[in-house]
Structure 1
């Protein structure tokens, strides 16, 4: 009976933290040039702080324009994000400010939100709100061997691409998703807008030139 009461109290405290986070409209958001915004609702500065390579574990609610709820795992904490890099202008930049026990809001423009939440149908003017409650931060030392191998493999792939770009003297732009974009010929026609349908000719090949599609 005592354990049930303790669990009930814990759920009330967690829910209260989320509610207070939503109602807190007074403190200022930090906003980047790309339109990402961040605000702490609870900041436990004395607790462990996230680092690159860590995994954030806890509860999250995702809303469009702070109204339509798309997802919630309240009461059922799970893995939320793996911090891949410290690059400016990405969600990782804000995740690195979180400590164990923190609550925070991250707001992302529609054109960037699909990188962090799948199957979203949005207008280009929409904003996606992530309400976070961090219960645990799993450090690199605690990550399973399989996860660590995956991170190392991803880094090797990035290194291989970087070497290829340097060897070919390409002017490549790295996107937030990890995609490298090389503009070979710049056209003079109309520029596509978010939500437009475009028809393209393309081919897919490995770095050694072998066509696979």
Structure 2
């Protein structure tokens, strides 16, 4: 009886596997691009002049995921054959799919990125590397429906950004408080999360929004790395020197978004001639994008500043 049960199970699994394999169809686009139709729900065809939304997943030869629309967002395309026909084999497949169709294909990195997305291949990928592409046609829209979908996506993205920013604000606050505690620094905190310590107080004119100010500064990461300064001697000492720039106080209109928010707020706390150290959470600095190669994403910053002049 046990042997019979095992035989029945094996037969069931083999039939299931055969059925699954038979469900996958090897197809070819009119341009000659081969792909496998993993699943078809016989949905609606895409319409010229409309819009379609696809999920997309890219894997390299080691099955490492290079792109996943579940993490970066779904792929919308305008269904215009004259445009899609110039975007290589990936889009020649996508434009033939019906809603609900899932496909798999093998394409080179150049075919996917350079031809398809009109962008360079990433630094760790060779143009000739073979990528496995999984795609599914999810929805289609007319122009009005697509605009509404875009609006919803923007609202959802904004909510995610706000949630992430609030979480990062808490992380930054702990980092700054720990730094201040470890270095026995007494700093004041503003409502926005900016910490500051006035190191030289004066009775000069206070900077207000709209004033033109001149500020000397030294900008550092939390580990003490100097990434920028208006002082040439400090730039040379710390390896931050750039012979293509002038070393002089930075002049700007304060309170108008010409500098990072932590500066706008911090400088307006000071009087002309005063000096301070600003401890700026990343949300008031360069945020999740960072700045170039010197300021990583989500980096709290430290600025020693001197308000040289209020014009």
Q: Same fold (TM over 0.5)?
A: no
Which entry has the higher C-alpha Rg, 1 or 2? Answer: 2
Flag the structure with higher helix content: 2
Report which structure shows greater RCO (CA 8 Å, sep ≥6): 1
